[in-house]
Amino acid sequence: MNGYSFDPARVFRKLARNNALANQRLHAGCARLVAGELEAPGVSFFPSIRATLNHILILDWFYVDALEGGALGPAAWADAEPFLDLPSLTRAQRAVDLRLLALCEALNADALAATVRVHRATRIQEDRCDDILSHLFQHQTHHRGQAHAMLSGTSVRPPQLDEFIAADDAAIRAGDIAAFGWTEADVMR
């Protein structure tokens, strides 16, 4: 035996930290764009990097609110691009990333199996917390990948976004976790 105990919430804590770190690294890359590149038309699901980053944020607001027991629902996307400048968008993204992490830090087996009520436009969706979280992390990864691909067509080399889960990547992520005031032990627990 390896001495590890099973904790069903561990993967969600790690994914929440990965999400925050990947968003930080992506936003830092976008901060190096020259004037006009953030909002320039690009080939993706959304018409620009800025629109894609705003979409990630909006859906994070939507799902994190539901996971917290709120009823924000479709009001989350009342404005398709609530932030036109990157610094404000980055601050808002970091705030919701930390809300998601706090939620995941408090999870246990019972909380993961609890029903989450997601307020849709015409109905209330009821699903397990772990399923909503899995969907949210997939959504974030999907759209971050789109923004990453669009960044490839700019003056900025896209950052590496997948070095936050495995223990072997500790040296590569050290600066990123320090920016949050985290330790390696925080990331790996």
Task: Enumerate domains of the chain plus CATH numbers.
Answer: 10-159 (1.20.120.450)
Mean pLDDT of the 104-130 span: 97
pLDDT number for residue 175:
92
Burial 23-44 (b: 16+ CB within 10 A, else e): bbbbbebbeebeeebbbbebeb
Strand partners, 127: 116
pLDDT number for residue 44:
87
For residue 165, name the pLDDT band (cuts at 50, 70, 90).
confident
Query: Residues 100, 19: contact at Cβ < 8 Å?
Result: yes
Q: Say how far apart CA 159 and CA 27 lie, in whole Å.
A: 10
SS3 189: coil
Q: Report how far apart, in Å, the C-alpha atoms of 128 and of each of 68, 71, 117, 146 are.
A: 13, 16, 9, 27
148, 96, 31, 157 alpha-carbon torsion, rounded to 10°: -20
pLDDT tens by residue, 16-73: 999 999 999 999 999 999 999 999 998 889 999 999 999 999 999 999 999 999 999 9
Query: Residues 169, 163: contact at Cβ < 8 Å?
Result: yes
Closest CA to 23 of 99, 87, 93: 93
pLDDT number for residue 163:
81
pLDDT tens by residue, 144-162: 999 999 999 999 999 999 8
Which positions ≥6 away from 1 have C-beta within 8 Å?
none
